[in-house]
Amino acid sequence: MAGAHVRIDNRLIHGQVTVAWTRRLGVRRLLVCNDDVAADELQQVLLPQAARGLPTAVLSVAAALTVPLDGDVMIIAKDPGDAFRLVEGGLRPEVVNVGNVAPRPGTAYTMVTRSIAVTADEAGAYRKLAAGVPLVTQLMPQDKPADFVPLLDRKGL
Amino acid sequence: MLVALALTVWAIYCTYDGLGPFLVYAQRPLIAGSVAGLITGNPLLGLLIGATLELAALGVYTYGGATIPDYQTGAIVGTALAAGAAGGTSAQVAVGIGVGLPAAILLSALDPVGKMVTTALVHRADAYAADGNARGLARIHWISLVPWVAVRAIPTFLAALAASGGLVKDITASIPAGFVQGMTLAGSLLPAVGFALLLGMMELSRYWYLLLIGFVGFAYLKLPVLGIALVGVAVAMLFVTLKRDEPAIAVPEPAEETAIDPRLTKQDLRRVFRRYFWSSQISWNYERMQALGFAYSMEPVLRRLYPEKADYVAGLQRHLQFFNTSVLIGGPLILGSSVALEEAGTPKSAASTKVALMGPLAGIGDTVVFALYNSIVFTMGASWALQGNWLGPAFAAVMVLVPYALVRRWQFGFAYREGKRLAGHLAAGALARVAQGATVLGFVVLGGFIPSIVKVVTTLTYRQTTTVQGQPVTQSVAIQDRLDELLPFLLPVLVTAGVYLLTAKARLRPVWVIGIVVVAGVVLGWLGWFAPSAPAKS
């Protein structure tokens, strides 16, 4: 399995994804990959409606790994842990893009970029992920991708 | 000096309007520029410059904090400098666009500065929330407007002050006629950039044929833009109606209805809505985005529902968590459902419903609001404004003022009444249908707007020698006449297609594409090979 595009974005499907990224990557379907979201009936029905016509599946990590994931799918992982489990399960994306990770209630986080909050645990997950695939951050297609691990280093994470 | 101050006050209002109430969408260049024209005593300049920048700015929208050119300041500054420039109207407009466009692009560098200062402020708000200090929270919310305003109002003031001296007149006194001619052409080509960006955001490969309906309507049937929009509405209705026959989406059963004893008064609800309406995202920041505005809006309800301080503090903190969605379509629904769920004594589900809804509603709301409704209304307004008609900005202002005010009020009330059942209604697909109808309407209208607004003809001729009654006769033939026989409005279509390829296929940044179009326009217009419209036949 190679070629799928993976973005870590805990806002899941929103304007940046549907308007900018799907067009830029030329993908034909979206896959939201997170165990909690896959178990949430409401998000199951609402997320596909937000995808502006692109076929959208909402699956758990385990289920995602059982379907063929090729170059025409964009995978949206909710957190670095999901992305790591996908890679561990055999997915080989060309690059993993950390887009938006908003701070979550009750966590001690550091803003690594303007739109990415990282906790100490997550920093570990990002580093494990970066050992297997190139890890960058690129908010919008017109932005320059930046290597993610050096950004963690700079914030002492 | 007085004019510079008045323009600065206007810039402050424009910034506030675009973060809070969206009364007349004053941050859009059409409105910002038109009023700036009135202030400087040159209404026509404001109309023309605002409308040109408006069309160049179509398709450029901010999604979740991405920075875009500051067209509001560009339009105000451009109009102010144009008013002080030497020469006739066309020379002044050339100056206005020539200054306004680069100003918009350069000043976008200041936008992150404002948002970063606001990010620091939201941490103060956290501290106030922990103390249950509602006044402190409100103060931080409103103070957050200051950095947003400062990065726009200060450059406006400085530029307007510079424009009020005689210097601009001296500098612009020697503008060559060729440059004015070129800049005029560039101005009429710029809408192609806006249209290309819009097309890039829409599902062109799926709906391209709808462009033909609008194109035929304008190019062959000579329909005015309003006529094309009406055809678009009809086609969109047809699509949505036919779609109904598809199998319905399974709707999750709403949870058991518990009897709620209403603890909130009408006044509480009004207060919540009013706070959201007037100030929803004035404290927008990178870290928490619209969260502070949401917490501030919810505060009156939390105060009523939680007499115990600890519960009240927990409520404030709950609603200070990251929040971002479409303010005009989506936000009021979430607000109404949050109020209902808090009142029902289910704060946990208030928090989780908020998180579940904000992403999808942002996706749907952004489509309907930014990409489609606003684009259509402001393109129509700008096309009238380009003819020097005040109906343009007035139409656009009214068309956003009334519907958006009503639709926000309705959403809030609907979501509050429906409470837990709201999610089920949304899941049934009503909003997605609206978004699809709007997409269809957008395509039809764009098909008509492209040839009617991107104005370019060639003034080149070639010599043709024919034999008339045995005598060779040389006559010059206008190439444009030949092109018109082939396909009306061929050049505008080709220009827009070319710009679309640059943005969507060659993936050039919009700023580069704007640069290419302006340079090409100035050169080709200066050379006299192309013009916005055919020269009067002598």
What is the length of chain B?
A: 538
Query: Residue B363 is encoded by which pair of tokens?
Result: 């996706």
Measured between alpha carbons, how far is A89 from A81 in angstroms, rounded to an integer? 12
Question: Which chain A residue lies closest to B429 (C-alpha atoms)?
Answer: A49
Does B243 touch chain A if contact means CB atoms closer than 8 Å? no
Report yes or no: A103 at the B interface, CB cutoff 8 Å.
Answer: yes
Q: In this structure, are residues B218 and B451 in contact, taking their beta carbons and an 8 Å threshold?
A: yes
Residues for chain A: how many in total? Answer: 157
Minimum distance, in Å, between the CA of residue B50 and any CA atom of chain A: 26
Is residue B259 helix, strand or coil?
A: coil
Structure tokens at A91: 């997915």
What is the percent of chain B where pLDDT is above 70?
95
Strand partners, A147: A136
The angle at the Cα of B289, spanning B399 to B69, to the nearest 5 degrees, equals 60
**Subunit contact A102:B286, Cβ cutoff 8 A:** no
pLDDT (tens digit, 9 = 90+) per residue, A1-27?
Answer: 456 889 999 888 887 887 788 878 888
pLDDT tens, residue by residue, B107-161: 988 988 988 889 889 999 999 999 999 999 999 999 999 999 999 999 999 999 9
State whether A12 and B359 contact (CB < 8 Å). yes
Give the minimum alpha-carbon distance from B234 to chain A in angstroms, rounded to a whole number.
21
Q: Is the pLDDT of residue B83 over 90?
A: yes
Alpha-carbon distance B210 to B197, whole Å?
Answer: 17
Give the pLDDT of residue A104.
82
Nearest to A11 among B359, B423, B427 (CB): B359
Q: Do A102 and B289 touch (CB under 8 A)?
A: yes
Spatial CA neighbour of A127 closest among A147, A111, A107: A147
CA distance B237 to B38: 39
**Is B455:B219 a contact under the CB 8 Å cutoff?**
no
* Mean pLDDT along residues B329-338: 94
Q: Which chain A residues touch B426 with a CB distance below 8 Å?
A: 46, 49
B296-300 mean pLDDT: 97
Could you report the per-residue pLDDT of B173-219, keeping only the tens digit for each?
888 889 999 999 999 999 999 899 888 877 788 889 999 999 999 99
Give the nearest partner residue to B66 out of A18, A102, A139, using CB atoms.
A139
Q: CB-side exposure of B313: number of CA atoms within 13 Å?
A: 11
A-chain CB neighbours of B321 within 8 Å are: 103-105
Q: Which residue has the higher pLDDT, B294 or B166?
A: B294
- Three-state DSSP at A95 gives coil
pLDDT given for residue B535 in this prediction:
62
> Tokens 């990590």 correspond to what residue?
A61
Q: How far, in Å, are A15, A63, A64 from residue B365 at the CA level? A: 9, 30, 28
Q: Supply A41's token pair.
A: 């009936």
Residues of chain B with pLDDT > 90, as a percent, come to 62
Q: What is the predicted pLDDT for the residue at A124?
A: 93
Q: What confidence tier does A136 reach under pLDDT thresholds 50, 70, 90?
A: very high
Q: Which residues contact B16 (CB under 8 A, 6 or more apart)?
A: B145, B149, B282
* Mean pLDDT calculated for residue range B243-271: 69
Separation CA A76–CA A9 (nearest Å): 6
Report d(CA B215, CA B221) in Å as an integer: 9
B27-39 pLDDT per residue, tens: 999 999 999 999 9
Distance CA A76, CA A99 (A): 10
**Burial status of residue B481 (CB atoms within 10 A of its CB: 0-12, 13-18, 19 or more):** exposed
Q: Spell out which residues of chain A touch residue B509, defining contact as CB-CB under 8 Å.
A: 142
Measured in angstroms, the CA of B366 and the nearest CA of chain A are apart by 7
d(CA B250, CA B117): 45
Helix count (H) and strand count (E) of chain A?
8, 9
What region does B349 belong to: left with phi over 0, alpha with psi -120 to 50, or beta? Answer: alpha
Instruction: Answer whether residue B424 shows pLDDT above 70.
Output: yes
pLDDT in tens, B44-60: 999 999 999 999 888 77
Q: Is the CB of residue A47 less than 8 Å away from at least one CB of chain B?
A: yes
Cα distance between the two ends of chain A = 31
Give this prediction's pTM: 0.89
Chain center to CA of B54: 8
Give me the interface pTM, i.e. the ipTM: 0.82
The residue to which tokens 């055919």 are assigned: B534
Q: Is the pLDDT of residue B169 over 80?
A: yes
The mean pLDDT of chain A is 88
Residue B370 and residue B364 in contact, taking contact as beta carbons nearer than 8 Å? no
Distance CA B243, CA B503 (A): 32
Report the pLDDT value the prediction gives residue B538, as an integer from 0 to 100: 44
Give B346-389 pLDDT, tens digit per residue.
888 888 888 888 888 887 888 788 778 898 999 999 999 999 99
Which chain A residues are closer than 8 Å to B249 by Cβ? 45
Ramachandran sector of residue B419 (left: φ over 0; alpha: ψ -120 to 50; beta: rest): left
CB–CB of B532/B489 below 8 Å? no
DSSP B228-249: HHHHHHHHHHHHHHHHTTSPPP
How far is residue B357's CA from residue B338's CA, in Å, rounded to a whole number? 11
Q: Does A50 touch chain B (CB under 8 A)?
A: yes
Q: By the CB < 8 Å criterion, does A105 face chain B? A: yes
pLDDT, residue B243, reads: 66
Q: Cite the active site residues of A.
A: 14
